[in-house]
Chains A and B, each alone.
Chain A
């Protein structure tokens, strides 16, 4: 049933392949989390400024992407993304064939999904900061940039950290879905290995352990960060 000998490093086992696959999963998660946070900041900004059009677009984006299965979003971006990019390139006068690699497509797809969750977290964190603080900062004569980086930013970060930790866990688990694009991360490696060795149970249990390891340790990391950022409060 469970064949340990298939998991050794080197040519006889799949240990090193799984190590690289794990690194790929971590890479995709970090990249898409970062890109997602950037997107989320733009979305939150669009929701909070008093402009009906941007607010409508941002609300439409978060509602639709959160109401549709992640797999569908990934399929849409993976199969439909190239044609969109090519039509954009056509506008700039390039008529050749463009194909993005699986890593780029996967990262963008997961970032699109992760940004909707992050934006809700960031919006709640922004609204949790007392408005009196902005007024106090204005009274001190700070300009807008200073207010954001010295007063609002650190507090938003503290309020948002637990939520961001949750979004990170969701993002990490969602990366398993981009195995459908052919990117060799843990899930794809599992399918390849179990097809070659005819022993799906071994590799699937390995994959489950790898994901469990990643989520547990990143969860611990976020706990430490949270403690660090709320030092002044307990």
Chain B
């Protein structure tokens, strides 16, 4: 036992692993804020996207078009370097948030995931068949009730797999925030590499952690799918 511990302590990969693990909380912080906010905003944007109001739906459509057509890196830089160079933002209260790379990262990730997520939810909402909406109406539901009790539950469980993909893309996207000097796992791996000149060990240590995070995310989505699709469960009786 003593020997194993000594060996591990000497192994570069293990030491890197511990060091990168200390950056895990910074990565998780980014996700803990941007994922729930992104989820709620995506829903609102998706409902706006399918609304009959031409102005709202066109505005959201062009927002989605712009965000999906540009790389996330451009969006992060635009918020971190671009907004910071504007005089009146530096003088306003927004500067207290935007001078921190963390909040810039959260903002960019949220903006990005809302564009992709609302497009996913739109697909789900539009896949709800007319008969289901009509039967809801015949029960005397008003629009809000219809949305809450009929459309959203059906739409959400249908798009769970593709929203799960988006969640995994978000876990991967947090690595880009390291380019704004925010020290999450990729940033730390980069620092270790600069210190030890052993790139492979540094990045493999970070890669294992990302793989593990994504594995957890996949299991979580699988559980949600199992829970909310009881009609699709294989019965073992």
**Contacting pair B78 A68 (CB below 8 A):** no
Query: Is A204 close to B, CB under 8 A?
Result: yes
A72: which B residues are within 8 A, CB to CB? 175, 186, 189, 203, 206-207, 210
Interface segment among B34-42, B47-55, B66-74: the answer is: B66-74
Closest to A81 in B: B199
CB < 8 Å: which of A68, A173, A200 contacts B77? A200
Query: Is B26 close to A, CB under 8 A?
Result: no
Question: In whole angstroms, how far apart are the Cα atoms of A118 and B67 in the complex?
Answer: 23
**Contacting pair A194 B81 (CB below 8 A):** yes
Question: In whole angstroms, how far apart are the Cα atoms of A212 and B172 in the complex?
Answer: 22
A72-B206, A205-B78 known; 18 other A-B pairs, CB under 8 Å?
A71-B176, A72-B203, A76-B199, A76-B200, A76-B207, A80-B200, A176-B73, A177-B71, A191-B77, A198-B85, A200-B82, A201-B81, A201-B83, A204-B81, A204-B82, A208-B74, A211-B69, A216-B69
Binding site for B on A (CB under 8 A): 1, 64, 67-72, 75-76, 79-80, 83, 173-174, 176-177, 179-180, 187, 190-191, 194, 198-201, 204-205, 207-208, 211-212, 215-216
Min CB gap A179→B, angstroms: 8
Min CB gap B20→A, angstroms: 11
Residue among B72, B77, B176 with the highest chain A CB neighbour number at 10 A = B77
**Contacting pair A176 B203 (CB below 8 A):** no
CB < 8 Å: which of B73, B206, B211 contacts A67? B211
Min CB gap B75→A, angstroms: 8
Binding site for A on B (CB under 8 A): 66, 68-75, 77-78, 81-86, 168, 171-176, 178-179, 186, 189-190, 193, 199-200, 203-204, 206-207, 210-211, 214-215
**Contacting pair A68 B210 (CB below 8 A):** yes
Min CB gap B107→A, angstroms: 15
**Contacting pair A208 B78 (CB below 8 A):** yes
9 closest cross-chain pairs (CB), A and B: A79-B199, A69-B175, A176-B71, A200-B81, A173-B71, A69-B172, A215-B69, A76-B203, A212-B69
A70: which B residues are within 8 A, CB to CB? 172, 175
Min CB gap A162→B, angstroms: 15
Q: Assuming the A-B contacts A201-B85, A208-B70, are A67 and B214 also in contact, with contact meaning beta carbons closer than 8 angstroms in the complex? A: yes
CB < 8 Å: which of B69, B172, B176 contacts A68? B172
A79: which B residues are within 8 A, CB to CB? 193, 199, 203
A75: which B residues are within 8 A, CB to CB? 186, 189-190, 193, 199, 203
Residue among B69, B86, B176 with the highest chain A CB neighbour number at 10 A = B69
B200: which A residues are within 8 A, CB to CB? 76, 80, 83
Closest to A63 in B: B211
SS of A interface (majority): helix
Q: Assuming the A-B contacts A72-B189, A72-B210, A204-B82, are A180 and B179 also in contact, with contact meaning beta carbons closer than 8 angstroms in the complex? A: yes
Question: In whole angstroms, how far apart are the Cα atoms of A217 and B74 in the complex?
Answer: 19
CB < 8 Å: which of B69, B71, B204, B210 contacts A69? B210
B68: which A residues are within 8 A, CB to CB? 215
B82: which A residues are within 8 A, CB to CB? 200-201, 204-205
Task: List 7 A-B residue pairs with CB atoms under 8 Å apart, sorted by A's residue number.
Answer: A64-B207, A64-B211, A67-B168, A68-B172, A71-B176, A71-B178, A79-B203
CB < 8 Å: which of A69, A80, A205 contacts B186? A69
**Contacting pair A207 B74 (CB below 8 A):** yes
Min CB gap A86→B, angstroms: 13
A200: which B residues are within 8 A, CB to CB? 77, 81-82, 84-85
**Contacting pair B199 A71 (CB below 8 A):** no
Question: In whole angstroms, how far apart are the Cα atoms of A187 and B211 in the complex?
Answer: 27
Min CB gap B85→A, angstroms: 5
Question: In whole angstroms, how far apart are the Cα atoms of A205 and B81 in the complex?
Answer: 11
**Contacting pair A76 B186 (CB below 8 A):** no
A198: which B residues are within 8 A, CB to CB? 85
CB < 8 Å: which of A68, A83, A177, A179 contacts B207? A68
B86: which A residues are within 8 A, CB to CB? 1, 201
Closest to A209 in B: B70
